[in-house]
Each structure stands twice: as structure tokens, then as C-alpha cells.
Copies of this chain bind each other. A is one copy, B any other.
Amino acid sequence: METLTQRLTGRGWRMTAQRRVIARVFDAAGAEHIHLTADDVLERAVAVLPEISRATVYNTLGEMVDAGEVLAVNVGDRVTRYDPNVAKTHHHLVCEVCSSIFDVQAEVLPSANTADVAAIAPGFVIESADVIFRGRCACCR
């Protein structure tokens, strides 16, 4: 499993202190079930590199998303979360009580629905699907 830092380096990114710190925030967090807000990232980055600015965090996260190395996840509130797990297509499980977010692998993604779609919006070509399951996690039942 390649780290985000490795993926970015391999991509020929100019590796500044701030970019390295941001990438390492994700690497330190792990690979799955990581969905950090820009503020989460800033907070952890500041602990290592106190002079890093909020704008740089936003800009860098945006660049990581544009590069396809991080996913921008939106679960319905007005806050974007950043998810470094781009290797396997997956969807999200959101606990409505504690707001935890879990990844769910998406092999299953209903090709079944394509039939329905054809009936409703003839000619629509589906390229991807975002699925958010809402409910209660084990801790919050």
C-alpha cells in the first residue's frame, strides 16, 4: 500500500514542507475510514509546522483532489471532507448520531439501476455513483 506522500512524490510534485506535512497527516491517519475536514487537517498540520496557513491547506487539498489522489466527500452538511482512499471505489456509511463515516466497498454498485434510469432519462450515461447510507453505528444504537 503506497502512502499518499509516495504517490505525490511519484507524480513529480514539488514537495514543500507544507505539502509533505499535509500528506503525512493522511498517512498517519491510515488508509480507510479517513474523512478529514480542512480544519482537521489544519489542526494536525499546525501541530507539526506551526506557520502553515489555512489557505495553503485549502489550496493543497484542492490540488490533491484535482490530481485524483484524494477524494472530496460531501455527506450533506456544508463541509467538505477529504478521503485519501482512492484505490478502491467505495461509498459511505454515515452515523446520524455521532457523524462517524465508514467506507463500504462498492463492487456491488447496482448495474440494476441502469434499467430504471433508461426508462426515466433515456440516453443518460452513468459514469459514477455516490452512495451515502445513513443510519446508526454500533456505538450509537
Contacts and interface: CB of A to CB of B under 8 A. Distances in A.
A9 interface: no
Q: How many copies does the complex hold?
A: 2
A95 to B, nearest CB: 7
A20 to B, nearest CB: 29
Given A74-B76, A129-B131, A132-B129, A124 B108 contact: no
B76 A102 contact: no
Contact of A113 (B76, B108, B123): B108
Chain A, interface residues (CB within 8 Å), range: 35 or more
Contacts of A107: 116
Contact of A131 (B74, B102, B103, B131): B131
